[in-house]
Structure 1
């Protein structure tokens, strides 16, 4: 399968390399003590044959603190989308969302309460957050509340292209 090299992910919620305060612990949108206003994302040049997209937002700087990379958001997005507006995690009922790391044993939110965007809350220093988008040649057979590993199993061999954007969130 030939992968597109022109598939690009951008975010107006990331200014000069930094995620705006409103999308994490310095913001004012919270659910169960977790910042919940999702960043906006835009993409262009999706590969021909794209049937859906997978969004994954992770914090690899969390490994020394939590013992694993922290999953902030996982979402399956319909093929006709070219963006997710700010707060889409709470407002857009057409996306299918996976479980974030607030369901981990470190925090313990019930799975159904951790199926949304959980914004940055770096406890020790500024962290870099990676947001990836995968253009897929199928719609993954997943429902709200899926795990990241389930998504990766579903998309194996079905990725037409990838895009990525990073942003720092200030501690």
Structure 2
């Protein structure tokens, strides 16, 4: 489900920096997976949007593993909870390492399971791994990663911490409160 709107999603890079990806240092990993999320900006947000939700995924993983790899999902983040500097050119700034700091900064916001939670992988059930950002680690070649953000006038009902992406997508569709959306494609280096 890809909604379109006037929201503009940008980053200070088109290639995801190594600190947030495959070459992240050991202290920025959980179970060998990069865990420090990258910063990005949300501009031109419809004023009716009171909550933000996003998915960061890898459609280029389909030929590699048979499905689109989910790297990070967030739901029900109140727009008012995000700090912004009126002197900055960007309306909203999602800072680096937001995924790890979100539970203490904005406890009402939710993070969903990523593909590391798949029972087929046999990985740890540690929420720091399966319910947070997992940085890109493409095994075969550079991949194009999709960051899709939705703005809604109401929170998505029925979600809990550790929701699955399909639950978010169904909730967005069911809730009928999507008033804006935008996205950006970013490169993850092999």
Give me the TM-score of the superposition, normalised by structure 2. 0.81
Asked if structure 1 preserves the Cα contact closer than 8 Å seen for 2:4 and 2:182, the reply is: no
- Name the structure 2 match of 1:25: 22
In 1, the alpha carbon distance for the partners of 2:32 and 2:135 equals 11
Alignment of 1:51-130 (within 5 A): 51-76=50-75, 77-80=77-80, 81=82, 82-93=92-103, 94=106, 95-109=109-123, 110=125, 112=127, 113-130=129-146
Question: How much has 1:158 moved relative to structure 2?
Answer: 2.2
Instruction: State how far apart, in whole Å, the 1-side matches of 2:112 and 2:141 are.
Output: 27
- Residue 150 of structure 2 is matched in structure 1 by 134
Query: C-alpha displacement at 1:9, in angstroms?
Result: 0.8
Q: Which residue of 1 aligns with 2:186?
A: 167
- Deviation at residue 23 of structure 1 after TM alignment: 0.6
Report the counterpart of residue 87 of structure 2 in structure 1: none
Q: CA deviation at 1:58?
A: 0.6
Q: SS state of the match for residue 26, structure 1?
A: coil
Q: Please say if 1:148 is aligned against 2:165.
A: yes
1:9 alignment counterpart: 9
Number of residue pairs matched by the alignment: 166
* Structure-1 separation of matches of 2:19 and 2:126: 24
Is the CA contact 1:137–1:159 (under 8 Å) kept in the aligned structure 2? yes
Q: Which structure has the highest strand share of the two? A: 1
Q: Is the 2:74–2:112 contact (alpha carbons within 8 Å) kept by the matching residues of 1?
A: yes
* Higher helix content, 1 or 2: 2
| TM-score between the two structures when normalised by the length of structure 1 | 0.90
Gaps of at least 5 residues in structure 1 are none
- 1: distance between equivalents of 2:121 and 2:21? 17
